[in-house]
Chain A
């Protein structure tokens, strides 16, 4: 049983045992997380939507290959997303800086009610996203899987081929490097 939460609010709970019973419901449930993860890694909203469709199409075609005994549905689905993203990067050049420096993406969701706080937060998030691009592929991947995909370290390790303990260290170092970029003293 995994608990899924966004912005401090527990949204839904899904049991892995349901994975082989309700594919439409699971697809529906994981769509936002998959899109969020992909959007962390690609510049354009359209690309993220196309990649999301590709991920779910592959998941649909290969749904017979999912074995709950081998791993959770989220791990299986995010591995497909991970591979889809790798293919995307293989066919395109390494992504460049975001198109409009300083502007927030139009598909970014914010929830702070205060307009003033919202502006401050939006600026901080825009700066955060720009700094993310300066990290290595591995750092971006572990941060995206952790915060956008909301996966456990065990699941991230299964996707990236790392041990759970190693994922903890990689995540800590990645966030540290991101912090250094944010402070402007990246090495």
Chain B
């Protein structure tokens, strides 16, 4: 037997010994038998922890695996990190949402303020409204001599929807001064201005606009984007209708 075979046989006998079985028949007596005797002595060496040490271990076991304390005292690091990362993620998301909301609010406020400041948009609206009232209401009035021609205006499909609101254009023009910066007000005023131009062009015999009625507050109401047939706002070139 070479050394590997002797070693394998020795280990096998030791395992049998540790398993409570008697060693097998030795292929050779002598040194191997002495080694197995020594191995038997080694297997008999057993130490035992002190009662205090064993009690401390039992206490630790009870603490670790008790249903209430075990989870709280020593949770695996991976699970703790998972919880922490989840909270951290939620915190980051909430911060981002707050930042985005704040920035959006600021941008909207800036846009509203800028539109309110620009001369071609919001400030022109309340100034334009007084001279527009007679020009719009005149053709719609049924007592007007030109009212007989009004149907010709309403015949036009494109004018039909626009003429109807002009009858109520007076109340709609009133709110803009109180809400000069709102987008809705801008839209409403834009529609009214468009109506005025079209009505002026299509109704014959209507007196031309008197420049004296213009108080000159802006002086360029004809320059507004509502006057542009292409509906191009020169003050806001990027905002076409």
Contacts and interface: CB of A to CB of B under 8 A. Distances in A.
Interface of A: 3, 5-10, 23-24, 27-28, 31-32, 35-36, 39-40, 45, 48-49, 52-53, 56-57, 60-64, 105, 107-109, 111, 121, 124-125, 128-129, 143, 146-148, 150, 152-153, 165, 167-169, 171-172, 175-176, 178-179, 182
B7 interface: yes
Interface string B44-65: 1111111001101100110011
Contacts of B74: 60-61
Contact of B46 (A24, A109, A171): A109
Interface residues of B, number: 41
User: What is the predominant secondary structure among interface residues of chain B facing chain A?
Assistant: helix
B210 interface: no
B41 A125 contact: yes
Contact of A168 (B7, B42, B45, B60): B7
Contacts, number: 137
B192 to A, nearest CB: 72
A125 B86 CA distance: 57
B6 interface: yes
Among all A-B residue pairs, the 4 with the closest Cβ atoms: A49-B53, A39-B47, A168-B7, A172-B7
Given A52-B57, A60-B64, A146-B14, A169 B35 contact: no
A3 B17 CA distance: 11
B8 interface: yes
A182 to B, nearest CB: 7
User: What is the predominant secondary structure among interface residues of chain A facing chain B?
Assistant: helix
A129 B35 CA distance: 16
Contact of A182 (B38, B46, B49): B38
12 contacts: A7-B43, A27-B61, A35-B48, A35-B49, A52-B57, A53-B60, A128-B45, A165-B4, A168-B4, A169-B3, A172-B11, A175-B42
Given A60-B74, A171-B7, A23 B65 contact: yes
A179 B57 contact: no
Contact of A169 (B7, B17, B79): B7
A108 B42 CA distance: 12
Contact of A5 (B20, B42, B48): B20
B4 A49 contact: no
Given A56-B57, A172-B11, 8 more contacts: A24-B61, A32-B49, A49-B53, A64-B78, A107-B50, A108-B46, A167-B11, A179-B35
